[in-house]
A and B are shown apart, each in its own frame.
Chain A
């Protein structure tokens, strides 16, 4: 054993490696991405690792490996699970042979996601067991246990960390390489009665699954990470007794109170109890199947329980259900009773406030607690700068959006966006994203709008990684159903938003192989598009005329704006403003919104530390005041 300072996701990856994982597949998505990358970085010799084309593909690859007896891990963010849910729902009925862990990272807040969906609910829905770690150290150990449970019960299991567990760091005690489990897959055994899903098999397996989950609930009641934490010191900070029998008289001085929590919120509860007083805590590490026996033991003798959890009130509903089924006179508080906010992430402070309020209540007249304060009001503080995320200086997406905007000025248009860095094209002054729903949706939405408003020029913008992940079906649909739309591919040769992962168009795999690039233009022509033009968005004139020309053609047509992400290429020399030529019209600032363009005094100047020399600003400057190179170096 040794200690390492690890991000939660790195700890999860090393835990999977210690469990002898044979295959890891996934699709990038914050906050899950670093798990797969860490396995590749630390142990590519021992495990096969791939970025799959999307989450559905990743789920199926992992399932196949587990059918063949391997220990398999598949990783994704919560919305990725929606894409992978088709294979998963059926896989729940079929089961696995080797251990299979489905890692789905949830994102309370949400901090970088479209939804605040709760994968614990997906566990109930699919009847698949779910593990919910509360810290990096626990996650490291728990994923090893998750593989063992998966094999013991022949079922895929969910492993569901949230953002603060995924991206929190800690000094974690981990195994040395010679302590790792070696898992030898014993291969796929043909058995159509086991691996081929038919209605009759589903019915039979459904019966078994319901029985199994009763057994698992009992098993989980003894699982060490589900626990009741009782403090020896029952005095609260004010010296009073927080709802427990007086040790001398045995009489109750107040309602007896407990707190139930899971995930990162459990750590917030434990921190809050340092100051707010004592109460027994039920820690739920496996929200499904719910450890009922343990929960009943916790509820026994309590009058009130406050549930602290993020996203949906899963623990709260389970406890209410238990109280109802067992006729327990325990009041359960939480999100449903409006004692805890029901959207956004919990914080140390919100949880402290919840617990202080709960423990201070004298009796059950607690309905409808007050709204929770956020951070304390800063008296007299000056207005703080607002910093929404924006496209980087030199980002080719800015040029692509600007070219389309210029070309289509004055025409009736809709610009359907998609998921990726280019969602930031919605920000002022570009304002070029009219809709954004989920990965690949822009194509379908553009088609739907076009059916209702035939006089609108319908555009769909999609990135290169998203194109492969989930846009191809939409193109086929458009061509087959004779839609009239313009597809804009923003090809920056990487998966930029999540940290530059390779994809089918990059010609590299996660195992480091150099492979044939899948050519987007050839794919589009193969589907049947006759107009597919590729243009460099940093050539402003060429881009604008290309859009004008292509948009007027009938049917489905595409433009590929091809220019690499500035984070994966060397910048050229920064631009600079010739002050004598700048007339302070500020067109560059008003129209481009590039963070390298700043106003200094009356004129515009360029922050050389940010500028990549993309030259878009110099191409639109009406007086030619923006030039390449340093002043006086002969390049003007």
Chain B
């Protein structure tokens, strides 16, 4: 199996943990993994990304344009920003909840998450949208966006990993008291809840 996965969002949203879980899940299947992510000054409220590459014959942790099998977007504008990485016919899983940057608040300019989702709808055939606000409310925690999106990515089939694979990774990487909540978030995605556009 060879998979190129791009995760993206805004600093502090939990993209790093999601990429670590994917990597751990792949390593448990004895697959070589490489990844790269944003660290340092750019993290503070800035756009962040992780590249995860799974499989043999890989030299570089970085993904090239048009090479990603799947983009997992934590924020609709950030998902659009990463779109050049998506390969033809690739899959996009995205949260629909926008995060307005301070620059927009200051200048009074409007930034519309809906506009981003509409654009994704035009551009991407295999698009899965997670209504994070509703989902977090139903699950009862605002801290599970990463597992919600991972769940939807698993369901899309484009991740090449099963729910069980991710669960096994959660067991090794997270304290036990958080397992049930994260399992629930992982299992949340169903076609009715995360529509394919």
Contact = CB atoms under 8 A, between A and B. Distances in A.
B105 A589 contact: yes
Contact of A5 (B10, B33, B80, B83): B33
Nearest to A498: B40
Contact of A595 (B59, B102, B142): B102
Contact of A389 (B34, B42, B58): B42
Contacts of B62: 164, 168, 268, 347-348
B119 A381 contact: yes
A349 interface: yes
B103 A389 contact: no
A253 to B, nearest CB: 28
A10 to B, nearest CB: 12
A164 B104 contact: no
Given A349-B65, A384-B77, A167 B39 contact: yes
A168 B84 contact: no
B165 interface: no
A3 B116 CA distance: 41
A167 B62 CA distance: 11
Contact of A385 (B37, B44, B106, B111): B111
Interface of A: 3, 5, 30-31, 111-112, 135-136, 164, 167-171, 264, 266-268, 270-271, 347-349, 352, 375-376, 378, 380-382, 384-392, 421, 424, 428-429, 497, 589-590, 593-595, 597-599, 609
Secondary structure at the B interface, as helix, strand, loop or mixed, is mixed
A328 B67 CA distance: 39
Given A5-B33, A112-B41, A385 B104 contact: yes
Contacts, number: 143
Contacts of B60: 264, 267-268, 270-271, 348
B106 A111 contact: no
Interface of B: 10, 20, 23-24, 27, 32-37, 39-47, 58-65, 67, 77, 80-81, 83-84, 99-106, 108, 111-112, 115-116, 119, 122, 142
Given A267-B59, A271-B59, A349-B65, A169 B44 contact: no
A5 B24 contact: yes
A428 B106 contact: yes
Contact of A380 (B58, B61, B103, B119): B119
Contacts of B112: 382
Contacts of B10: 387
Contact of A597 (B32, B67, B105, B142): B105
Contacts of B23: 5, 169, 171
6 contacts: A267-B61, A271-B58, A378-B84, A389-B41, A390-B102, A391-B44
B28 to A, nearest CB: 10
B109 to A, nearest CB: 9
A151 to B, nearest CB: 31
A348 B103 CA distance: 30
A375 B115 contact: no
Contact of A169 (B36, B81, B111): B36
Contacts of B34: 136, 168-171
B35, B46, B60, B81: residue with the most chain A Cβ atoms closer than 10 Å = B60
A3 B35 CA distance: 15
A394 B64 CA distance: 38
A390 B39 contact: no
A30 B102 contact: no
B82 to A, nearest CB: 10
B119 A382 contact: yes
A598 B105 contact: yes
B105 A599 contact: yes
Contacts of B65: 348-349, 375-376
Contacts of A589: 105-106
A349 B105 contact: no
Contacts of A384: 77, 80-81
A390 B40 CA distance: 12
B41 A598 contact: no
A170 B61 contact: yes
Contacts of A264: 60
Contact of B33 (A170, A380, A386): A170
Secondary structure at the A interface, as helix, strand, loop or mixed, is loop
Contacts of B83: 378, 381
B103 A388 contact: yes
Nearest to B100: A598
Contact of B45 (A169, A171, A387, A429): A387
4 A-B pairs with the lowest CB-CB distances in the bound complex, closest first? A348-B64, A112-B40, A168-B61, A267-B60
A387 B27 contact: no
B85 to A, nearest CB: 8
Contacts of B142: 609
Contacts of B115: 382
B171 to A, nearest CB: 15
A423 to B, nearest CB: 8
A599 to B, nearest CB: 6
A384 to B, nearest CB: 5
Contacts of A382: 80, 112, 115-116, 119
Contacts of B100: 385, 598
A31, A594, A599: residue with the most chain B Cβ atoms closer than 10 Å = A599
A590 B107 CA distance: 9
Given A3-B27, A386-B103, A390-B45, 6 more contacts: A111-B40, A168-B36, A349-B64, A381-B80, A392-B45, A497-B41
Contact of A348 (B40, B47, B63): B63
A337 B20 CA distance: 41
A5 to B, nearest CB: 5
Nearest to A496: B44
Nearest to B26: A171
A30 B39 contact: yes
Contact of B44 (A170, A267, A378, A392): A392
B41 A169 contact: no
Contacts of A271: 58-60, 64
Nearest to B84: A375
Given A164-B36, A381-B119, A385-B100, A171 B106 contact: no
Nearest to B62: A348
Contacts of A385: 77, 99-101, 103-104, 111
Contacts of B58: 271
A387 B61 CA distance: 24
A169 B102 contact: no
A497 B34 CA distance: 26
Given A5-B24, A382-B119, A598-B105, A169 B35 contact: yes
A156 B112 CA distance: 55
A167 B43 CA distance: 13
Nearest to A382: B115
Nearest to A269: B59
Contacts of B43: 389
Contacts of B84: 375-376, 378
A111 B48 CA distance: 12
Given A112-B41, A135-B59, A387 B106 contact: no
Contacts of A348: 60, 62-65, 67
Contacts of B20: 5
A595 B102 CA distance: 6
Contacts of A112: 40-42
Given A267-B59, A381-B119, A389 B46 contact: yes
B87 to A, nearest CB: 13
Contacts of A593: 102, 106
A533 B59 CA distance: 56
B25 to A, nearest CB: 11
